[in-house]
Structure 1
Amino acid sequence: MPGLYLVGLLIAIAGIAVLDARYRLFFWRAPLRAAVVMVIGLVFFLVWDVVGVHLGVFFIGTNRLLTGVLLAPDVPLEELFFLVLLCWTTMDLFGAVRPVFARLSGRRSGGPESDEGRA
């Protein structure tokens, strides 16, 4: 069924967006900065894909789940949405883990949240 992979990617992106909005992890924390980071990531990975296609590493096999729309030779439309999902998931994960590491490092350094600093 053509387009099924794209539908799956859009559902996954919607899920990441909901988590992001709920916990203010990436776009809902700093929208402009998040957009810049997203664009840089997308450009990097799209260039990576084009170079990989040129070197013969990446190619599209026969797959009836794709829409058939190509952004470049052997770079399907779905690749852009996959890269959005990849970058957004990575940045949401970073946003979720960062406060945990900050709290843990504050405890180790004897900061205000440290058990050692309490009488």
Structure 2
Amino acid sequence: MGLLYLLGLAVALTGMVLLDRRFRLFFWADARRAAIVLVVGVLFFLAWDLAGIGLGIFFRGETSFMTGIVVARELPLEELFFLTLLCYLTMNLFSAANRMLGRTAAQGRRTPGGRP
């Protein structure tokens, strides 16, 4: 039973990948940019977690659904998968919302004269 949470996160990540592939939202739209954004997002939240752990704010909860593997003090393996899922989900939602609103990256850029 110690793998249930990790398995759930892996299934959810697989769903994000399938949605991304089907609708070309994030990685399938621009793999290089997506990889940079995903890594920066995960590193930001990982630094946030480590700061919280260092300050004594965050603690690893004990449950039978987790593997018990820790990557660092009070940082379970599942947290890395969760942060990846969080960032991937956010970027898929952002890309889908932009698409539904009819926006593109080029429309958001302006020249100094205020014209696209």
- TM norm structure 1: 0.83
What residue identity is the alignment partner of 1:100? Answer: M
Which amino acid in 1 is paired with 2:20? D
The percentage of aligned residue pairs carrying the same residue is 51
- Asked if residue 39 in structure 1 is aligned to residue 51 in structure 2, the reply is no
Deviation at 1:85, TM superposition (A): 0.5
How many residue pairs get matched? Answer: 104
1:3 maps to 2:3: yes
Matched, 1:74 2:74: yes
State the shift of 1:61 in Å: 2.0
- Partners of 1:94 and 1:61 lie apart in 2 by 31
- Name the TM-score, length of structure 2 as normaliser: 0.85
Name the residue aligned to 1:109: none
Q: Which residue of 2 aligns with 1:96?
A: 96
Kindly name which structure, 1 or 2, has the bigger radius of gyration based on alpha carbons: 1
Considering only aligned residues, what root-mean-square deviation do their CA atoms show, in Å? 1.3
SS at match of 2:71: strand
- Secondary structure of 1:102's counterpart equals coil
Q: 1:13 maps to which residue?
A: 13
Q: Which runs of 5+ in 1 are unaligned?
A: 106-119
Query: What does residue 25 of structure 1 align with?
Result: 25
Runs of 4 or more above 3 Å deviation? none
Equivalent in the alignment of 1:113: none
The separation in 2 between residues aligned to 1:53 and 1:99, in whole angstroms, is: 38
The CA deviation at 1:55 is 1.2
Question: Using the alignment, how far apart are the partners of 1:41 and 1:13 within structure 2?
Answer: 15
The 3-state SS of whatever aligns with 1:93 is: helix
